[in-house]
Structure 1
Amino acid sequence: MERFKGISPHRPLDEGATKIRIVNLLPGEFGDPIECILEHIDMEDTKDYEAISYCWGESSITKPILLESKPYPVTTNLFDGLQRLRRSDGPRKLWIDSLCINQSDVAERSREIQKMWSIYKSSAGVVVWLGECLPWSETTVQAIADFIIDIGEAWNPERLDHSGVVARYGYNELWRQHLRMNEFLRQRQWFERTWVIQEIAAKSPFNNSELCPTMLCGTIRLSFHYLQRANAFWTTMPSEYDSLTILRIYNPLYIQLEMCGEYVMVQLNSFVSISSQLELYLANGSAVLRTTDPRDQIYGILGLLQHGSLPARLTPDYGKPLQQVLVEYAKYFLEENGCIDVIQFNSGNTPNLPSWVPDWRHKPGRTHLREKQNTPMGFRMKDGQWCLEIDFVHLSVIDDIKPDQDQDIKPDNSLQFAKDYILSASEWLYNKSPEDHHVPLHDIQFLMKKLILCYDYFMGHKFTRLWHQLIIDAGPSPSIGDEHVFQGKEGLQCSYPSELNSIDGPDLKAGIAEVWGSVAETIRDRSIFVCTSGSVGIMEQMNVQPQHGDVIGTATTGSLDNVTDHFEEDLRIIWM
């Protein structure tokens, strides 16, 4: 929930799960002063209002409206939206968070946030305000909307038939239209917001273009139904369409749609626990979207939870500092599921946060969270702060780190940069290998290439598996290793799904440079390290630098009785 500072004309709101305010946007012509009247309603009795989903924009730049006949500042984006939403022949009932919630009342904000899901679900409809068309012309925006609608209407999802659309446009035109569409989406901040997920999921599934959210950009309308269909069109593109298989809808929108899909799945499965649902949304990227208040990385998706409720201590409370919120949720995840995987999601960017507590701002290479585990762990209070006690196995020590390449000598050509990086890293590893092993340099180069491609593969969704298959040299595949979570510092073993080693498909040489470009970008600010055990890894967090002597520990996911060959006694580590 974004926070807005202003003089409040709000009368106290009756407490109750169904009591809310709405605004009556009074009629007028475009350019007339905007006037709104607040009304208290019961959602169970009144369902003729529309819920508005929008991006606040810069809160320091405002324009005045009349709210309850008193001047009230709103952001310019909302001001523009009210101009477009206003009717000329009568009032329009709307729920708008910045107007319907007293933003200066922390207790009310904390209370009303828990109603968000019901507010959108009970509304007569959800309207998404994307802003004015600028810097695009209305003609161009209309053409983009027509392209999205055309794909949605022409594609047959039942038969997964892409041939009609491909034949109609051709490869070059589909590429051009797709790039233009994504550029438009990229310039709309709405698609980067965490709150959007529950606002649009309230009307999912989107199988009816009339009932699902309506998007409004200037005067141009587009049903969210068609964006969902367009996303499905690109994500199911068969491999025979070569270069078209790498096209994806703008990634923040993709995350939003994936979260809505997960929500539908959870609705149909009452056996998914509340803690597992929340972990599912956070692990799959909801927290990397934008919020004005960082606590809303979690609070913004609570409305999606089904089949139960969170403990009272975890309900939204804007009086708590961010660090306290994150620690309380981390303890909840670990105590409920014993899922040690969550500790991967600490980005290192949140000040004063214990290293075992995820802030969910880091998206690791492997984001699959396993079911309830039996990892021996506990918590203790030390110096006024919760610490995690956990058993570890497979401890090793960082022996050396390959420094990042000097920014001044990095070539502009990302393909050449990737080649140079692999070559220099391979030579460094060759020099680090024991003299009695005599590992050929070309073998180390081969494994180095595998390691970086594996890392790039797991780190993002820019490219599909096919592209990686084409540029991995034929040869023996390293065995698939276990998933690892490391203490404080993280690394990635040289292991990857076996299908990555299969060479298949047409010769798509034109895409090799693009793939290596993505590899170059993902490793540009990371360090490679080698341990005394001989294992090699890549640091995932950009701002966490490994140091000589750092201990790397793999957490056990079962009884230590199974690993007596490695250690004579349990290794309990206190993790600050």
Structure 2
Amino acid sequence: MDSKIDEFDTKDLTALPAAFSLKKVLNYSPLTDPEYIRVLRISPDHSDEIVVSLEEIALSGNIPYECLSYTWDGPTFGDTGEEWTSDRKHIVCNGSIIFIRQNLYDCLVELRKVGIVGPIWIDALCINQNDINERNKQVGMMGRIYKNATRVIVWLGREDEHTELAVSSLKRIRLTAAECLRDESIVRREYARCNFTKRERIAILHFIKNRRWCNRLWTVQETVLARDLVFICGSNIASADMVCCGSLFADYNREDFFDIWITNSPSMQNSTGLRSFLEVLKVRDLNQQSEGSPPPFANVVHAFRDLQTSDPRDKIYAVLGISDCHHDELSSTMTANYDVLVQDLYIDAARYALHTYSHIEALSKVGEPSKQKINDLPSWVPDLSVSLTTLGLEEEKDRFATDGSQNSLPILEIMDKVLVLNGHEWDRVVARSGTIGDLGDVSGIAQLLKTFKSDHDMYFGSMDTREVAVRRLLITDRLIDVAHASDSYNMEAAFERLFFALLAFALKASEETTLLRLFLEDPKAAFKRFGVPDSYDWLSEILVRGKENWEFQKDNWMKNLETIPSNFAKALDIIDDPYALSWARYYSNRRYFRK
């Protein structure tokens, strides 16, 4: 629920910019019960005036109602004039003339035209925006309000010259949103079947990407919690399946859309909402499949941090309905309160985040202090009103270490808004290497083998041997395609075969023909030629066994070295088993050992 309350003195309620500016005061009676909401009915007559009425209903009652999801300001990125941001259009509500913004007025006109006359819940009209106490309570209920609605109607604004063609093109799609979200290959096949023309792709892109609705944070919970979802743009109606599949088409087939994206509308380049919208659709799909606990509040706040709100406090309040807002350790629950200063709210959110993550990863969300807009924030508190330009540490999903069973648990102390951390020397780095992806040439092999040098007292955790540590490292302990890996699947042999093949591929890529032949015949004898003079008995044994596992393939290679792949992508066509596929997916961001 966007507002601009932060620009005014919150103690002077008469200065609050409501969703509409009252010319003749509309008197809101206090809600009869804390569990009641107001809903709106639109008079179905087709006079020039839009006439509506408000009535109370119990949120948990048996009166069906719908909800509206829309933007308070202009619906597209080009709609920036005052006609979109000021209250100029009048309607009649409960006998009083009130003034509302253009986009909401356009929506009411279109809803009446298509026969959607209520009951419908619209935040700007159904909440007394001048009553902070009511506003706090109703915002706290918004998750339930949208979840209980029979349908959420998304208003995308007036139609333009692209809308009709976009919607008619999207109607050719035969997939559901669930099918699209769960299998990328199906989306690509359906896109090929639809065979959209360039003109149709332009229309689809304008329809999806040029709408400010996708960039609005409040739409996240409004979409995720909706039982049913329909999109209206002018007189055109599109299903959630159509919009979801169209968004995925634009995302998965960027090579077809890229030139259109850049050249056809400069305003579209300002949109960051498409990818966020796709993430929202995925969360909605998961939410509909499962009745499990919602994700932690801190995770959701940062996942959708780039989306926009007018009030910086809504960076928190807009996701309360889809988050677990209670923290046992803090013995508190995050609730909406527009009396709270932004600084104090962000400090509380940072405290939640620090206690949510298993490490002090939340500090990586602070970003550049010079880019902060909210003044007087402690150095450890992120300014959620600005986008984060660097990747947060907890978003680096693949951070496997062979001693990963040992996790740190920070002891946090916050004294008068100061975060106190006591450091302890826990470990030290004695050697390092590049990633396994550096095995593209002989120098990369030499670097890797030198890293395995046994001069250091290595500790691998969980009683791992050196060989087991390397085997776990290559796939970060995650074996994919398990369905094809039977109980008799020999992961050790697969590891040995892959390791032998990787070194052979690297030698082929380096055009070291003589060294390659020597390696295929006798891996041990080839070690010194790698620039590694030591005797690596444990590694030699792995390679010898790998050679034996590949005896047939090795003989073919010896006869014709040209049959050896020179890049890992082609190599996977030869090494087609779960372990090799797992290595291909997880080859980066590895840490091998610690002392």
State whether TM-score is above 0.5. yes
Query: Could you tell me whether the CA contact under 8 Å between 1:337 and 1:373 is conserved in 2?
Result: no
Report the counterpart of residue 273 of structure 2 in structure 1: 252
**1:292 alignment partner, SS class:** coil
**CA offset digits 1:267-306 (Å, max 9, x no partner):** 766776x6x532332332x121111111111110111126
* Unmatched 5+ stretches in structure 2: 4-16, 74-83, 262-267, 400-405, 428-508, 511-565, 571-592
After superposition, the Cα gap between the structure-2 partners of 1:502 and 1:147, relative to the gap in structure 1 and judged at 3 Å, is farther
The one of 296, 311, 321 equivalent to 1:293 is 311
Q: Does 1:215 pair with 2:239?
A: no
Report the counterpart of residue 357 of structure 1 in structure 2: 381
- 1:378 partner letter: L
Report the counterpart of residue 453 of structure 1 in structure 2: none
The one of 204, 208, 215 equivalent to 1:185 is 208
After superposition, the Cα gap between the structure-2 partners of 1:393 and 1:327, relative to the gap in structure 1 and judged at 3 Å, is farther
Matches of 1:49 and 1:229, distance apart in 2: 27
- 1:12 partner letter: P
Report the counterpart of residue 2 of structure 2 in structure 1: 2
After superposition, the Cα gap between the structure-2 partners of 1:154 and 1:299, relative to the gap in structure 1 and judged at 3 Å, is closer
Matches of 1:118 and 1:110, distance apart in 2: 14
- 1:194 partner letter: L
State which structure, 1 or 2, has the greater radius of gyration over its C-alpha atoms.
2
**2:172 alignment partner, SS class:** helix
Report the counterpart of residue 229 of structure 1 in structure 2: 245
After superposition, the Cα gap between the structure-2 partners of 1:293 and 1:71, relative to the gap in structure 1 and judged at 3 Å, is same
Report the counterpart of residue 167 of structure 2 in structure 1: 145
Matches of 2:422 and 2:281, distance apart in 1: 34
Aligned length: 382
Report the counterpart of residue 318 of structure 1 in structure 2: 338
**CA offset digits 1:148-176 (Å, max 9, x no partner):** 23245499756726345325527xx36x6
**CA offset digits 1:370-393 (Å, max 9, x no partner):** 7996343322324xx333425377
Report the counterpart of residue 16 of structure 1 in structure 2: 34
Comparing both structures, which one devotes a greater share of its residues to strand?
Answer: 1
After superposition, the Cα gap between the structure-2 partners of 1:269 and 1:132, relative to the gap in structure 1 and judged at 3 Å, is closer
Report the counterpart of residue 81 of structure 2 in structure 1: none
Q: Does 1:389 pair with 2:402?
A: no
After superposition, the Cα gap between the structure-2 partners of 1:197 and 1:42, relative to the gap in structure 1 and judged at 3 Å, is same
Query: Structure 1 residue 92: deviation in Å?
Result: 2.9
Matches of 1:73 and 1:195, distance apart in 2: 23
**1:71 alignment partner, SS class:** strand
- 1:124 partner letter: T
Query: Could you tell me whether the CA contact under 8 Å between 2:42 and 2:117 is conserved in 1?
Result: yes
Query: Structure 1 residue 44: deviation in Å?
Result: 2.4
Report the counterpart of residue 421 of structure 1 in structure 2: none
**2:156 alignment partner, SS class:** strand
- 1:357 partner letter: V
Report the counterpart of residue 197 of structure 1 in structure 2: 220
After superposition, the Cα gap between the structure-2 partners of 1:305 and 1:313, relative to the gap in structure 1 and judged at 3 Å, is closer
Matches of 1:373 and 1:245, distance apart in 2: 44
For the aligned residue pairs, the C-alpha RMSD in angstroms reads: 3.9
Report the counterpart of residue 83 of structure 1 in structure 2: 109
Report the counterpart of residue 376 of structure 1 in structure 2: 410
Query: Could you tell me whether the CA contact under 8 Å between 1:49 and 1:94 is conserved in 2?
Result: yes
Query: Could you tell me whether the CA contact under 8 Å between 1:154 and 1:164 is conserved in 2?
Result: no
The one of 16, 41, 51 equivalent to 2:57 is 41
Query: Structure 1 residue 342: deviation in Å?
Result: 1.7
After superposition, the Cα gap between the structure-2 partners of 1:161 and 1:391, relative to the gap in structure 1 and judged at 3 Å, is same
Query: Could you tell me whether the CA contact under 8 Å between 2:87 and 2:101 is conserved in 1?
Result: yes
Query: Could you tell me whether the CA contact under 8 Å between 1:214 and 1:224 is conserved in 2?
Result: yes
After superposition, the Cα gap between the structure-2 partners of 1:119 and 1:376, relative to the gap in structure 1 and judged at 3 Å, is closer
What TM-score results when the alignment is normalised by the length of structure 1?
A: 0.58
Query: Structure 1 residue 25: deviation in Å?
Result: 1.2
Query: Could you tell me whether the CA contact under 8 Å between 1:377 and 1:391 is conserved in 2?
Result: no
After superposition, the Cα gap between the structure-2 partners of 1:282 and 1:165, relative to the gap in structure 1 and judged at 3 Å, is same
Report the counterpart of residue 322 of structure 2 in structure 1: 304
Q: How does 1:505-544 map to 2 (within 5 A)?
A: none
**1:377 alignment partner, SS class:** coil
Report the counterpart of residue 277 of structure 1 in structure 2: 296
- 1:352 partner letter: D
Query: Structure 1 residue 48: deviation in Å?
Result: 2.4
Report the counterpart of residue 464 of structure 2 in structure 1: none
Query: Could you tell me whether the CA contact under 8 Å between 2:365 and 2:392 is conserved in 1?
Result: no
Matches of 1:42 and 1:309, distance apart in 2: 29
After superposition, the Cα gap between the structure-2 partners of 1:344 and 1:71, relative to the gap in structure 1 and judged at 3 Å, is same
After superposition, the Cα gap between the structure-2 partners of 1:177 and 1:393, relative to the gap in structure 1 and judged at 3 Å, is farther
Query: Structure 1 residue 37: deviation in Å?
Result: 1.2
Query: Structure 1 residue 503: deviation in Å?
Result: 7.3
Query: Structure 1 residue 128: deviation in Å?
Result: 0.9
Query: Structure 1 residue 122: deviation in Å?
Result: 1.5
Query: Could you tell me whether the CA contact under 8 Å between 1:130 and 1:217 is conserved in 2?
Result: yes
- 2:95 partner letter: S
After superposition, the Cα gap between the structure-2 partners of 1:44 and 1:74, relative to the gap in structure 1 and judged at 3 Å, is same
Query: Could you tell me whether the CA contact under 8 Å between 2:132 and 2:339 is conserved in 1?
Result: yes
Q: How does 1:54-65 map to 2 (within 5 A)?
A: 54-57=70-73, 58-65=84-91
Query: Could you tell me whether the CA contact under 8 Å between 1:127 and 1:213 is conserved in 2?
Result: yes
Query: Could you tell me whether the CA contact under 8 Å between 1:9 and 1:67 is conserved in 2?
Result: no
- 2:346 partner letter: L
Identity of aligned residues (%): 23
Q: How does 1:419-438 map to 2 (within 5 A)?
A: none
Matches of 2:193 and 2:288, distance apart in 1: 38
What TM-score results when the alignment is normalised by the length of structure 2?
A: 0.56
Q: Does 1:94 pair with 2:129?
A: no
Query: Could you tell me whether the CA contact under 8 Å between 2:309 and 2:315 is conserved in 1?
Result: yes
Query: Could you tell me whether the CA contact under 8 Å between 2:359 and 2:410 is conserved in 1?
Result: no
**2:336 alignment partner, SS class:** coil
The one of 355, 362, 378 equivalent to 1:342 is 362
After superposition, the Cα gap between the structure-2 partners of 1:91 and 1:376, relative to the gap in structure 1 and judged at 3 Å, is closer
After superposition, the Cα gap between the structure-2 partners of 1:321 and 1:161, relative to the gap in structure 1 and judged at 3 Å, is closer
Matches of 1:339 and 1:296, distance apart in 2: 26
Matches of 2:92 and 2:33, distance apart in 1: 26
- 2:2 partner letter: E
The one of 16, 22, 42 equivalent to 1:25 is 42
Query: Could you tell me whether the CA contact under 8 Å between 2:244 and 2:281 is conserved in 1?
Result: no
Matches of 1:85 and 1:164, distance apart in 2: 32
**2:296 alignment partner, SS class:** helix
After superposition, the Cα gap between the structure-2 partners of 1:103 and 1:129, relative to the gap in structure 1 and judged at 3 Å, is same
Query: Could you tell me whether the CA contact under 8 Å between 2:187 and 2:245 is conserved in 1?
Result: no
- 1:189 partner letter: R
Matches of 1:225 and 1:271, distance apart in 2: 24
Comparing both structures, which one devotes a greater share of its residues to helix?
Answer: 2
- 1:354 partner letter: P
**1:256 alignment partner, SS class:** helix
- 1:300 partner letter: A
Matches of 1:96 and 1:214, distance apart in 2: 15
